[in-house]
Amino acid sequence: MKKRSVKSLALTSVVAVAVMLVLIPFFWMITTSFMKSGESFSYPPRFWPKAFTIQQYQILFQRLHFLRDFLNSFAVASLMTVSSLFINSLAGFAFAKYNFKARRFMFTSFLVTMVIPGQVGMLPVFLILRQMGMLNTYWGLILPGTVSAFSIFFFRQYMSTIPTDLIDSARIDGCGDFKIYWRIMLPLARPALVTLGLFTFLGTWNDFMWPLIVMNKDSMYTLPVALANLMGEHAPDTELMMAGSVVTTLPVMILFLALQKSYVSGLVAGSLKE
């Protein structure tokens, strides 16, 4: 018995030390962001500010445009989440609960899109958006990424488990098809909505390449693009760059912490789908 507890303590410590090593970059990022300019230029490196200061954050939000970039990121991620949940759940519902002629063909064509990497169509999508005057707009960033075969598949799987009896009885009560979707399926698919909503929000917030291409006016930058550009101008200002990184990554990490159960369950469900 005793031997077992010693072993347990040893193993737990090993893993705990590994976790701490993995988290050091975050720790260092946060503490350095509260240092005075130039304070991190020291050897050995400092892990704690001499005196905490929000100077770097003031520069970001008052002199630079991180508030605007933050709002852009927030708007894009929110709009993307709402529109993609709506459109993909609607399609998922159709595939889960209707028998129709083109069903097989349409479902396969959605799945095929999962095999082709997004970069392939990127150049023409850029030209299409340009023709439509949608470069440097929120919707130009959102519309090309709204449909997700993964989401449609996920919704289909989830909604298949909802009893069809519910739909039949609603129909007898005179419920239209859209009303069945809106009043019955969506509320019952809440867990799927939360999981996919979280995936979409985080994915959109963290995305870099597509906003880099679509948003070339600095008033439309999202946080990752703004941070990448800040790097070009302020590379020597370590403390400022760390504050910028905190502003960029902390919101989504907090959101994840709050909803981690749905996130992890969705991750696992996605991997076991075969």
Partner 1 sequence: MLKISHRDKKAVGYPGTRWSSVNAPYLFIAPSFVLLAVFFVIPVVAAFLMSFTDFDIYSLAHFRFARFVGLGNYMNLFSDPLFWKSMFNTFYFLILGGPLTIFVALLAAVLLNSKLVKFRSLLRLGFFAPVVATLVAVSVVWKYIYDPRFGLLNYALSFLGVAPRDWLSDPVWAMPAIILFAVWKNFGYTMMIFLAGLQTIPEVLYDAAGIDGAGSWQRFWRITVPMLAPTTLFVTVVTLIGYLQLFAEPYIMTGGGPMNSTLSIVLLMYRQGFRYWQMGYAASLAFVLAIVIFILTMIEMRVQKEGSAV
Residues 157-216 that bind partner 1 (CB under 8 A): 171, 174-179, 181-182, 202, 205-206, 208-209, 212-213
Which residues are CB-neighbours of 159 under 8 A, at least 6 positions away? 89, 92, 93, 96, 97, 185, 189, 192
For residue 88, give both structure tokens: 């993909």
Distance of closest approach, residue 63 Cβ to partner 1, in angstroms: 19
Distance of closest approach, residue 174 Cβ to partner 1, in angstroms: 6
Among positions 63, 124, 163, 217, the unique one binding partner 1 when judged by CB under 8 A: 124
Distance of closest approach, residue 167 Cβ to partner 1, in angstroms: 10
Residue numbers 22-51 binding partner 1 by CB under 8 A: 22-26, 28-29, 40-45
Alpha carbons within 13 angstroms on the beta-carbon side of residue 14 total: 6
* Interface stretch with partner 1, choices 48-56, 62-70, 74-82, 110-118 (CB under 8 A): 110-118
Distance of closest approach, residue 154 Cβ to partner 1, in angstroms: 13
| Closest by Cα among 209, 215, 201 to 251 | 201
Instruction: Give the integer Cα–Cα distance in Å for 55 and 44.
Output: 23
Contact 104, 156 (CB under 8 A): no
Instruction: Examine residue 105 and tell whether it contacts partner 1 (CB under 8 A).
Output: no
Instruction: Give the integer Cα–Cα distance in Å for 136 and 128.
Output: 13
Taking the least distance from each CB to partner 1, the nearer of 143 and 193 is 143
Instruction: Give the integer Cα–Cα distance in Å for 201 and 51.
Output: 35
Instruction: Give the integer Cα–Cα distance in Å for 162 and 154.
Output: 13
For residue 132, give both structure tokens: 């439509």
Among positions 50, 116, 133, 163, the unique one binding partner 1 when judged by CB under 8 A: 116
Distance of closest approach, residue 51 Cβ to partner 1, in angstroms: 19
Contact 195, 263 (CB under 8 A): yes
Instruction: Examine residue 258 and tell whether it contacts partner 1 (CB under 8 A).
Output: no
Residue numbers 126-155 binding partner 1 by CB under 8 A: 126-128, 143-147, 152
Instruction: Examine residue 228 and tell whether it contacts partner 1 (CB under 8 A).
Output: yes
Residue numbers 56-85 binding partner 1 by CB under 8 A: none
Distance of closest approach, residue 161 Cβ to partner 1, in angstroms: 19
Contact 54, 240 (CB under 8 A): no
Distance of closest approach, residue 61 Cβ to partner 1, in angstroms: 16
Q: Where are the beta strands (DSSP E) in 75-156?
A: none
Instruction: Examine residue 12 and tell whether it contacts partner 1 (CB under 8 A).
Output: yes
Instruction: Examine residue 108 and tell whether it contacts partner 1 (CB under 8 A).
Output: no
